[in-house]
Structure 1
Amino acid sequence: MAEMSNGNFSKTTSIQQAIASCCGAIITSLFVTPLDVVKTRLQAQSNPFPKGKCFVYSNGLMDHICVCESEDIKGWYRKNGHFKGTLDAFVKIIKIEGIKSLWSGLPPTLIIALPTTVIYFTCYDQLSEALKSRLGKDNDHIPIVAGSLSRFGSVTVVSPLELIRTRMQYQKLSYKQLHMCISSKVATDGWLSLWRGWSSTVLRDVPFSAMYWYNYECFKKMMCKNLGAHEPTFFIAFTSGAASGSIAAVITLPFDVVKTHRQTELWESETLKIPQSASTWEVMRKIIAKNGIAGLLAGIVPRLFKVAPACAIMISTYEYGKSFFFHLNEKSNQHP
């Protein structure tokens, strides 16, 4: 695999980077979605979700709010079968419901995940190259700055789309009804209401991206040196992605817990009239008061099982895609 982080980067176009990130997003979704479907089914089996309540469903690329027994979900998380564990759940779901059930919720995920991933990865590479020309290619701050800014931009752009998608899942609406619903919400609460929950997402995703890219570049350089590789291989990119993703996931977990509370609270407040919390910090204080510091670390194991493979698959596929286009461009230049 050619190392895109150095001089080779300039030989891949932004369109080629976008295609590589799209391929990475699709492959990541195909691999990781079944893991989260099984996890959600096991959770629903041990602690059934009551009708009208919400839970967060995530497949490694996107988080989704699912309202229990809504029309679009059709109770996929309540299907028949008692599962003894993860492997048993995989076997029984395939046997009883068919293999397609393992990819429940994949289409709406890709509709939002693809533009998010394209913006995020393409911006990261473009910003990295711009900063390298000014600060030097070995500057340690480049991954932190580029990772933070690219994630901030992608979260801000896509946040209203996620709110709209969740609204459509919560209540089956035609596009005309959806437009009227959004228009009335904007008229009542202003345009900023379309970015509700944005602050919690930024507090989780921007630090995650800064740590992820910094550690990824460090691990990649270290492994290349230790293995005597002039260029990072698929294995190096995969391992570096998994390790850096795991570290970032653990450190940012408290903000992920807060984001989950705020997202589910948003929809429950509309149906059950629960007052919304004023801020991210207030939600954090409530969680600590109720469950102690341990409450901010809830779900650490499933988060690691989701994030580590998702990061590994995404970055290694993306790097491989860029490598493919780099060699393709090189051949084209040699044979005009």
Structure 2
Amino acid sequence: MMTSTPGSPKLQPQFSLLPKILNGGIAGIIGVSCVFPLDLVKTRLQNQQVGPKGEKMYNSIADCFKKTAKAEGFSGMYRGCAVNVLFITPEKAIKLTANDFFRHQLRTKDGRLPLFREMMAGGGAGLCQIVVTTPMELLKIQLQDAGRSTKGQGAVRASALQIATSLVKSKGISGLYKGTLATALRDVSFSIVYFPLFANLNALGPRKQGSNEAVFWCSFLSGCLSGCISSILVTPFDVVKTRLQLLRKGIGETSYTGVPDAFRRIWQNEGPRAFFKGGASRALVIAPLFGIAQVVYFLGVAEYCLGLEC
């Protein structure tokens, strides 16, 4: 049963969990499949550290695309996509469903949802998702960065299963959760900004005829704009998370002991601009990803398949 849009002031009469989980999973698969090459470029740019003489492998988003495609072909642009698709289903399902659930629970008796409670709902959704996001990001980053960090070293690129197995054998399950704090900082802060912003932008647009739901283009543009703004604001956390989760460093690249150490060393060695490396490509990833995801989520695909009223 489709409920009213997040921006609606009306109290939702019921909360149907199963279709929301399925819609979130479908939304994640479609979204990530469309924007994955941009995400790969983002990861490589963020992990790239400038050499003592200013040397670096990639000079821009376009340069990274060109060099990656030339060296690794089309399949190289989708390196790590399989593991991302595998995990994105529960991740997006948790994120979108948890936000709806918390919004449903945090409404006042008269059906209103004040901004602070919207932010609480978003933050709660971001916190819930890290149980899946952290290992997904960890494995994805190793695969995405392989072409950069192993260039010229003759290294054999491991699969996601090999990386995961090796980590579990050497460090236990906790090995898959390297960078959890940085992931939480990024995802909780992102969700605190994104979900209230999306809900309020989406509420401003025209409604479908005979429905309280926003029209297709309104949800898409609201998701794109909210995702773009939120992703740019939390880019420093994403840079730190990406650096911490990279297990195999390139020659001469700095290692970090934790979040505070990463912030300090990046600032000292590379300056404040380094915290926004890959920011443009990240915005280009997140904007369409969440635009697509929100539209698919609210189209009610699962309701249709389950024979429920939309």
Return the TM-score normalized by structure 2: 0.73
Q: In 1, distance between residues paired with 2:28 and 2:163?
A: 31
Aligned to 1:144: 119
Aligned to 1:319: 298
The superposition leaves residues 276-322 of structure 1 with CA deviations (integer Å, 9 ceiling, x where unpaired) of: 42331221122222232222222222122111111111112111227
Q: In 1, distance between residues paired with 2:290 and 2:160?
A: 36
Aligned-pair CA distance for 1:25: 1.0
Aligned-pair CA distance for 1:238: 0.9
Aligned to 2:51: none
The superposition leaves residues 147-176 of structure 1 with CA deviations (integer Å, 9 ceiling, x where unpaired) of: 111111111344245546777988648979
Name whichever structure is richer in helix by fraction. Answer: 1
Aligned to 2:23: 20
Matches for 1:7-46 after TM superposition, within 5 Å: 9-10=12-13, 13-36=16-39
Matched positions, count:
282
Report whether the alignment pairs 1:156 with 2:131.
yes
Q: 1:286 to 1:275 in 2, by over 3 A?
A: closer
Paired residues of 1:2 and 1:323 also in contact (CA < 8 A): no
Aligned to 1:291: 270
Q: Of the candidates 221, 225, 233, which is equivalent to residue 243 of structure 1?
A: 225
Matches for 1:202-213 after TM superposition, within 5 Å: 202-213=184-195
Return the TM-score normalized by structure 1: 0.68
Matches for 1:52-201 after TM superposition, within 5 Å: 78=68, 80=70, 103-132=78-107, 136-160=111-135, 162-163=137-138, 172=158, 182-186=168-172, 192-201=174-183
Aligned-pair CA distance for 1:183: 4.0
Aligned-pair CA distance for 1:114: 1.0
Counterpart code for 2:267 = I
Aligned to 1:267: 248
Aligned to 1:69: none
Matches for 1:211-222 after TM superposition, within 5 Å: 211-222=193-204
Q: 1:252 to 1:177 in 2, by over 3 A?
A: closer
Report whether the alignment pairs 1:254 with 2:233.
no
Counterpart code for 2:277 = A
Q: 1:267 to 1:329 in 2, by over 3 A?
A: same
Paired residues of 1:258 and 1:284 also in contact (CA < 8 A): yes
Counterpart code for 1:29 = V
Aligned to 1:277: 256
Paired residues of 1:224 and 1:236 also in contact (CA < 8 A): yes
Q: In 2, distance between residues paired with 1:259 and 1:27?
A: 25
Paired residues of 1:32 and 1:306 also in contact (CA < 8 A): yes
Q: In 2, distance between residues paired with 1:78 and 1:181?
A: 27
Aligned to 2:149: none
Paired residues of 2:219 and 2:291 also in contact (CA < 8 A): yes
Counterpart code for 1:3 = S
Counterpart code for 2:248 = W
SS of the residue corresponding to residue 114 of structure 2 reads coil
Q: In 1, distance between residues paired with 2:57 and 2:44?
A: 9
Q: In 2, distance between residues paired with 1:290 and 1:176?
A: 33
What is the RMSD of the two structures over their aligned residues, measured on CA atoms? 4.2
Aligned to 2:205: 223
Give the share of equivalent positions with the same residue, in percent: 24
Aligned to 1:85: none
Q: Of the candidates 282, 289, 294, which is equivalent to residue 303 of structure 1?
A: 282
Counterpart code for 2:4 = E
Q: In 1, distance between residues paired with 2:137 and 2:44?
A: 23
Paired residues of 1:203 and 1:255 also in contact (CA < 8 A): yes
Q: In 2, distance between residues paired with 1:155 and 1:185?
A: 19
SS of the residue corresponding to residue 113 of structure 2 reads coil
Q: 1:224 to 1:2 in 2, by over 3 A?
A: farther
Q: 1:48 to 1:199 in 2, by over 3 A?
A: same
SS of the residue corresponding to residue 113 of structure 1 reads helix
Counterpart code for 2:168 = I
